[in-house]
């Protein structure tokens, strides 16, 4: 997949810079065209001569070439690239990228780059674990950048974090998979619902649930990365979206989510219903704050519309519908009956009995159940990775017309 791809390899001042030479060699071997851009500190760790002889191109490091005065255009480089990889990325470069401090050629190129950006951090463990670094990495993620951390997929080591740069072979594998997926939903529109709903009781109180929206946002991102136009209907969550192909509609209640989803599904090729929609809402909403009284109080609830079931009812030939089921018991049979009742093409089962799965965490472990065939188990990994797997399955169904 990397044959003929234009790749900018950014190298910064870390001891792991020597690994960048291996990475460069692997990229060239796969047929990519690579332009190396280094920070001044990067040159202290590995010589530009090594890198230019591997890439067959002069290394760019300064804004001007010293002897000729030729200007290196970061804008042209940013347009030329199909991808930019910064490996190793130090805490300092990550901080500069997160905050737009463009005082060298590498960060300037990053800011001009229209292509997807992959960042492989490398630093000592304390620096890596520092809240400032964690925050800056979160900012980069929210801009739509891909952070490649070692031991991705292995929960324990991911959480402890090693600060070590990911191995070059694995970085190439991530990139390869990225280009393979990139076109799988091209030309398609996908609706994703995410997060909880809030059902008002009075101006200051509501009925809600613990959904963080992380799984739904990761799905929206994965669909966009696969080339789809995404309509993300989001309940109240504290998450940002960065991808230009995601149109986000913020809603609060199940009724609002219903209206937005029904309208969007009309123009969509598929929908993924990931929101934790409240099944009931207070029958009446008080205009004024309810006062405390010594008496018992009864809150009467009325049923909310079932959004997934309504979309299942409206589903046209060639449209797809994916649901989620969060179960505590009789998981598979409950999930299968939801799939049938809501006319879903497949359902993603979350069991609250599994450690590292479900609400409020960054990881998930799910089983994907289709109408035919054996269920597919996706082992415990980051929600962003689970999302990619689910979108891969959806894209396969859609492209094969199953």
Annotated binding site for CTP: 279, 289, 324, 338, 342
Q: In what order do the strands lie in the sheet with 320-327?
A: 246-250, 229-234, 189-194, 270-273, 320-327, 346-351, 363-370, 376-382
338 binds ligand CTP (CB under 6 A): yes
Q: What is the nearest approach in angstroms of ligand CTP to the Cβ of residue 124?
A: 43
Q: Active site residue: 170, 209, 334, 343, which one?
A: 209
* Burial of 204 per CB tally in 10 Å (0-12, 13-18, 19+): exposed
Q: Is 272 helix (H, G, I), strand (E, B) or coil?
A: strand
**Non-local CB neighbours of 54 within 8 Å, separated by 6+ positions:** 21, 24, 25, 28
What angle is formed at CA 130 by the lines to CA 159 and CA 122, rounded to 5 degrees?
70
Residues 192 and 176: their CA atoms lie apart, in Å, by: 26
Query: With binding defined as CB under 6 A, does residue 265 bind ligand CTP?
Result: no
Q: Which is nearer to ligand CTP, 338 or 365 (CB)?
A: 338
Residue 153 Ramachandran class (φ > 0 left, ψ -120 to 50 alpha, else beta):
left
Site string for ligand CTP, 203-242 (x = CB under 6 A): ----------------------------------------
In the region spanning residues 27 to 46, those forming contacts with ligand CTP, defined by CB under 6 A, are: none
Q: Is 323 in the site for ligand CTP (CB under 6 A)?
A: yes
Segment interacting with ligand CTP (CB under 6 A) among 64-72, 110-118, 128-136, 275-283: 275-283
Among 176, 256, 263, 306, binds ligand CTP (CB under 6 A): 306
Closest-CA residue to 347 (of 276, 266, 272): 272
Q: 307 vs 394, which CB is nearer to ligand CTP?
A: 307
The question of whether 170 is a catalytic residue gets the answer no
* Integer Cα distance of 319 and 267 in angstroms: 10
Would you say 229 or 331 has its CB closer to ligand CTP? 331
| Contacts (Cβ under 8 Å, ≥6 apart) of 221 | 144, 241, 242, 243, 246, 384, 387
Q: Please tell me whether residue 324 binds ligand CTP under the rule CB under 6 A.
A: yes
Q: Considering the complex, what minimum distance in angstroms separates the CB of residue 192 from ligand CTP?
A: 10
Using CB under 6 A as the criterion, which residues of the chain lie in contact with ligand CTP when the complex forms?
A: 193, 254, 273, 275, 277, 279, 304, 306-308, 323-326, 338
């Amino acid at each position: 997949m990397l044959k003929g791809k234009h790749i900018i390899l950014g190298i910064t001042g870390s001891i792991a810079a020597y690994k960048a030479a291996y990475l460069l060699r692997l990229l060239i071997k796969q047929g990519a065209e690579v332009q190396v851009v280094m920070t001044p500190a990067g040159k202290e760790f590995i010589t530009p001569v090594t890198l230019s002889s591997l890439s067959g191109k002069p290394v760019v490091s300064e804004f001007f070439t010293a002897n000729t005065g030729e200007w290196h255009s970061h804008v042209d480089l940013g347009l030329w690239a199909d991808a930019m990889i910064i490996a190793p990325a130090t805490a300092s470069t990550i901080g500069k990228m997160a905050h737009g401090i463009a005082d060298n050629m590498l960060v300037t190129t990053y800011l001009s780059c229209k292509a997807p950006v992959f960042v492989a951090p490398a630093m000592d463990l304390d620096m890596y674990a520092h809240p400032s670094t964690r925050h800056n990495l979160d900012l980069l993620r929210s801009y739509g950048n891909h952070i490649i951390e070692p031991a991705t997929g292995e929960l324990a080591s991911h959480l402890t974090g090693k600060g070590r740069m990911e191995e070059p072979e694995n970085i190439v594998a991530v990139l390869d998979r990225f280009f393979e997926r990139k076109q799988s939903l091209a030309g398609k529109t996908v609706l994703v619902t995410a997060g909880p709903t809030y059902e008002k009781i009075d101006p200051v109180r509501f009925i809600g649930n613990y959904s963080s929206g992380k799984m739904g946002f990761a799905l929206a991102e994965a669909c966009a990365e696969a080339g789809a136009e995404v309509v993300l209907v989001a309940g109240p969550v504290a998450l940002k979206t960065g991808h230009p192909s995601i149109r986000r509609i913020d809603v609060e209640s199940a009724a609002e989510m219903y209206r937005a989803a029904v309208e969007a599904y009309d123009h969509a090729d598929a929908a993924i219903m990931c929101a934790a929609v409240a099944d009931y809402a207070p029958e009446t909403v008080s205009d004024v704050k309810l006062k405390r009284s010594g008496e018992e109080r009864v809150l009467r609830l009325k049923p909310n519309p079932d959004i997934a079931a309504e979309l299942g009812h409206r589903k046209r030939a060639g449209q797809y519908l994916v649901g989620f089921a969060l179960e505590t018991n009789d998981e598979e049979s409950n999930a299968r009956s939801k799939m049938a009742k809501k006319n879903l093409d497949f359902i993603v089962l979350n069991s609250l009995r599994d450690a590292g799965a479900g609400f409020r965490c960054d990881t998930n472990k799910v089983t994907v159940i289709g109408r035919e065939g054996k269920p597919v188990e996706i082992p415990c990994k980051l929600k962003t990775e689970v999302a990619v797997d689910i979108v891969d399955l959806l894209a396969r169904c859609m492209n094969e017309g199953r």
